[in-house]
Amino acid sequence: DLSNAIVAQDEMGRPFIIVKDQGNKKRQHGIDAKKSHILAARSIASIIKTSLGPRGLDKILISPDGDITITNDGATILSQIQLDNEIAKLLVQLSKAQDDEIGDGTTGVVVLASALLDQSLELIEKGIHPIKIANGFDEAAKLAINKLESSADDIGDEAQFDQFLFKAARTSLGSKIVSKEHDKFAQMAVDAVKAVMDKERKDVDFDLIRLQGRVGGAIKDSTLINGVILDKDFSHPQMPKCIDAAKLGKNDIKLAILTCPFEPPKPKTKHKLDISSVEEYEKLQNYEQDKFKEMIKYVKDAGADVVICQWGFDDEANHLLLQNELPAVRWVGGQELEQIAIATNGRIVPRFQDLSKDKLGSCSKIYEMEFGTTKDRMLVIEQTEKSKTVTCFLRGSNKMIVDEAQRALHDSLCVVRNLVKDSRIVYGGGAAEVTMSLAVSEEADKQRGIDQYAFRAFSQALDTVPMTLAENSGLDPIETLSLLKSKQIKENVSIIGVDCLGKGTNDMKELFVVDPFIGKKQQILLATQLCRMILKIDNVIISGKDEY
Ligand code: ADP
C-alpha cells in the first residue's frame, strides 16, 4: 500500500481526504516506524504534487462547515487539510516555514522533501542506517547549495533592475488564478514594494503593504492605492465627497484621529434626572449644544480639516459637524485607526483637550470611491509624499477569487522583496535543480563509502522537481529530464529547464523564468532538515491516544 490517503465523500457528496492514522494502531519502533512515517508523508505529497508549476492544477478545499477555498498555493492547501498523523503535520509546518521566511516556493519544498523521504526509504530497505543517510543528505545539500550559489546570476547591477523585478513577479503569478492579469498584478507588486522599501538598508517592511480584498467587479479592477482604504463613508450625505489639498491650494489635509466620543458627558448626578419644565429641558439642551460646540472648537483650533472618529455620534452632532464644515467619519475600528495614524503620521488622540496641531495626521486627498452601479462606497485616504503605506485593493467576482488573488499577490510581493534584499537569481522550470543534481551525482561517482548512496539518492530527489513540472505540463518526465541533463552538460549552462508552457525553448533565461536564489536555497535547506529530522525519529508517542 503506497498511499494511505483516500478520498471519500460525505452524505452531501462533498469530497474529503482521510489520512489513515497510524498512531492509533500501535506504537511503532525502529525501521517500521520510519517506514510508516515516510508513507504518511508521501500521501501528503501526492496531494499537492499536481499543483506544482504554471500548469499545476488548482484544488478546491471544503472545510467542515462548508467554506470553499480554491487555491494552488502549497502552504494554503496543506494548512486546510485536517491531519491526524504527526509526521504529515511536520510537512505542513515545513511548507509554512518556507512561507514565513520566503513566501514563495511552498509547493516545491514539499515536493522536494517528500522525494528525499522516498529516496531514504529505498536506502533503509537496502540496509543503510538512517543516521548515515541523514548525514549523507546533509553533505549533499551543502554541495548542492554551493553549486546553486555559483550558478546564480546577480541582476542587482543591471540597468533595468525594475524590469527584472517585474518579470520575476510575473513568473511567480504564472500558475495562479490571476494569470490572465499577471502584468497588472506583477506591476502592482513591484510598485508596492518600491513605494515602501528602505533603499539604504535594502529592506522591505511588509506591515506597510496592506492587502485588502472586496467582492465585486473583476480581477482587472484591482488597483494599488497610495494610502489606506476604509470600508466607510462620510457621516453626512451633504459633506463633500472629495477633499483634495491640491484643489484647495493647501499643502495637505489635516486629520484629527479621535478615540473620544462626540457626545456630551452625561450630567454627573446620582439622582434621577428630573425634567419637569420647559426651561429645564432647554437648559439641558443648551448644555449639550455647548458641549458639542466646545468639542468642535477644540478640533477647529487644532487646525483639523477632517475628523476620524472611533465612536459614533447622533444626528445632532452630525449636523453641527456639517454646519462647521468638518467632514467626519464615524465608527472606525481600532485597527483601522492605527493604520490611518501610521499612514498619515498622526497620533491617536483620546481626549479633545489633548488635540494640537502636531498630533494631526496629514494626507493629500481624502475621498469616497464608488463602485460602478452599486451603492457601495469606500473611503480612500491618499497620503502625502513623506509617508509610506500602500494598499493593494483587490477585486473579484466572488470571495474565493478575491482570496486567491490575495494569496497570489502575496507570493509575488515576496518574490520582489526577496530580490530587493538579495538580487541573485537562479533559473526556474527545474533548471536549478538539474544543475544541482548533476553536481551531486558527479560527487557520488567520486565517493567510495556509504555516502555515495546518499549522494545518488539526493541527486535523484532533486530530479523529482523537473520531472513533476514536466508531468504536470503533459510532457514525458523521463524524456524531459534526460534532455535537460544532456543539454546542460553539453552547453555547460544552468539555464535549461522544462518548457512548461510550450513556448518552444528550454532556455529559461530567454523566457525569464527565474526564482530568487535565497528562496531556492531555503527550499533545499528546509527540505533536507525535515528529512533528517524524520529519519531520526523512531518512536512516536501520541499522548492520550496510545496504549502502552
Ligand atoms: P510554489 O508554490 O512552490 O512556488 P508554483 O506552483 O508557483 O509552486 O510553481 C513554481 C515552479 O514552477 C518553480 O519551479 C518555477 O520555476 C516553475 N515555473 C513557473 N513558471 C514557469 C514557466 N513559465 N515555465 C517553466 N517553469 C515555470
- Residue 544 is assigned to a structural domain of this protein: no
**Taking residues 215-227, what's their average pLDDT?**
86
Q: Are residues 250 and 340 in the same domain?
A: yes
Q: What is the pLDDT of residues 111-122, one digit of tens each?
A: 999 999 999 989
Output the nine-digit C-alpha cell for 297.
472648537
**Cα dihedral 447→450→454→456 (10° resolution):** 40
Q: What is the CATH number of the domain that holds 204?
A: 3.30.260.10
Q: Are residues 143 and 23 in the same domain?
A: yes
Q: Are residues 259 and 181 in the same domain?
A: no
515 noted as active-site residue:
no
pLDDT at residue 200, rounded to an integer = 81
pLDDT at residue 383, rounded to an integer = 82
- Counting residues of the chain whose pLDDT is more than 90, the rounded percentage is 36
Half-sphere exposure of 247 (CA within 13 A, CB side): 7
| Cα(172) to centroid(ligand 1), Å | 7
User: For the chain, how many structural domains are there in total?
Assistant: 3
- Residue 546 is assigned to a structural domain of this protein: no
Q: Are residues 431 and 288 in the same domain?
A: no
| Per-residue pLDDT at 21 exceeds 80 | no
Angle CA 322–324–327, to nearest 5: 50
**Taking residues 35-43, what's their average pLDDT?**
80
CA nearest ligand 1 atom 11, residue: 53
> Which is the closest atom of ligand 1 to the Cα of 75?
2
Q: Ligand 1 pocket, 519 CB below 6 A?
A: no
Write the CB contacts of 67 (distance below 8 Å, at least 6 apart in sequence): none
The DSSP bridge pattern shows strands 209-215 and 390-396 to be: parallel
Q: Are residues 56 and 167 in the same domain?
A: no
Q: What is the CATH number of the domain that holds 358?
A: 3.50.7.10
73 noted as active-site residue:
yes
CA nearest ligand 1 atom 16, residue: 428
Residue 465 CA to residue 435 CA, distance in Å, equals 12
411 noted as active-site residue:
yes
Q: Are residues 190 and 240 in the same domain?
A: no
pLDDT at residue 547, rounded to an integer = 43
- Residue 181 is assigned to a structural domain of this protein: yes
Output the nine-digit C-alpha cell for 214.
472586496
Q: Are residues 25 and 9 in the same domain?
A: yes
Are 208 and 194 in contact by the 8 Å Cβ rule? The answer is no
Q: Are residues 521 and 473 in the same domain?
A: yes
| Per-residue pLDDT at 254 exceeds 70 | yes
pLDDT at residue 458, rounded to an integer = 96
CA nearest ligand 1 atom 1, residue: 105
Residue 537 CA to residue 13 CA, distance in Å, equals 38
Q: Ligand 1 pocket, 174 CB below 6 A?
A: yes
Q: What is the pLDDT of residues 265-276, one digit of tens each?
A: 666 666 666 777
| Cα(47) to centroid(ligand 1), Å | 17
Provide the domain limits for residue 461: 5-155+426-536
Q: Are residues 457 and 494 in the same domain?
A: yes
Q: Measured between alpha carbons, how far apart are the two ends of the chain, in Å?
A: 27
- Residue 390 is assigned to a structural domain of this protein: no
| Cα(204) to centroid(ligand 1), Å | 24
Q: How confident is the model at residue 190 (pLDDT cuts 50, 70, 90)?
A: very high
Output the nine-digit C-alpha cell for 254.
489635516
Q: What are the Cα distances from residue 163, in Å, to 64, 223, 360?
A: 44, 20, 38
Among the listed residues 471, 477, 485, 480, the one whose alpha carbon sits nearest the alpha carbon of residue 440: 485
Q: Ligand 1 pocket, 500 CB below 6 A?
A: yes
Q: Ligand 1 pocket, 52 CB below 6 A?
A: yes
Q: Are residues 137 and 173 in the same domain?
A: no
Which among 73, 191, 233, 499 is annotated as catalytic?
73
Are 197 and 204 in contact by the 8 Å Cβ rule? The answer is yes
Lowest mean pLDDT among 128-137, 283-292, 362-371: 283-292
Q: Ligand 1 pocket, 227 CB below 6 A?
A: no
Q: Ligand 1 pocket, 429 CB below 6 A?
A: yes
pLDDT at residue 548, rounded to an integer = 41
- Residue 524 is assigned to a structural domain of this protein: yes
Q: Ligand 1 pocket, 516 CB below 6 A?
A: no
| Per-residue pLDDT at 185 exceeds 60 | yes
Residue 531 CA to residue 523 CA, distance in Å, equals 12
Write the CB contacts of 172 (distance below 8 Å, at least 6 apart in sequence): 104, 411, 412, 414, 415
Asked whether the whole model's pTM tops 0.95, one would answer: no
Q: What is the pLDDT of residues 193-214, one digit of tens each?
A: 988 888 788 888 888 898 988 8
Q: Which of 26-40, 47-61, 184-198 has the highest mean pLDDT?
A: 184-198
| Per-residue pLDDT at 236 exceeds 80 | yes
pLDDT at residue 24, rounded to an integer = 52
Q: Are residues 446 and 363 in the same domain?
A: no
| Cα(14) to centroid(ligand 1), Å | 30
Q: Ligand 1 pocket, 98 CB below 6 A?
A: no
Which among 69, 71, 107, 384 is annotated as catalytic?
107
Q: How confident is the model at residue 2 (pLDDT cuts 50, 70, 90)?
A: very low
- Residue 222 is assigned to a structural domain of this protein: no
Which is it for the CA torsion 157, 162, 163, 167, positive or negative?
A: positive
pLDDT at residue 1, rounded to an integer = 43
- Residue 392 is assigned to a structural domain of this protein: no
The ipTM estimated for the assembled molecules is 0.97
- Residue 543 is assigned to a structural domain of this protein: no
pLDDT at residue 455, rounded to an integer = 95
Mean pLDDT of the chain: 85
Output the nine-digit C-alpha cell for 184.
497588472
3-state secondary structure of 427: strand
Q: Are residues 366 and 266 in the same domain?
A: yes
Q: What is the CATH number of the domain that holds 72?
A: 1.10.560.10
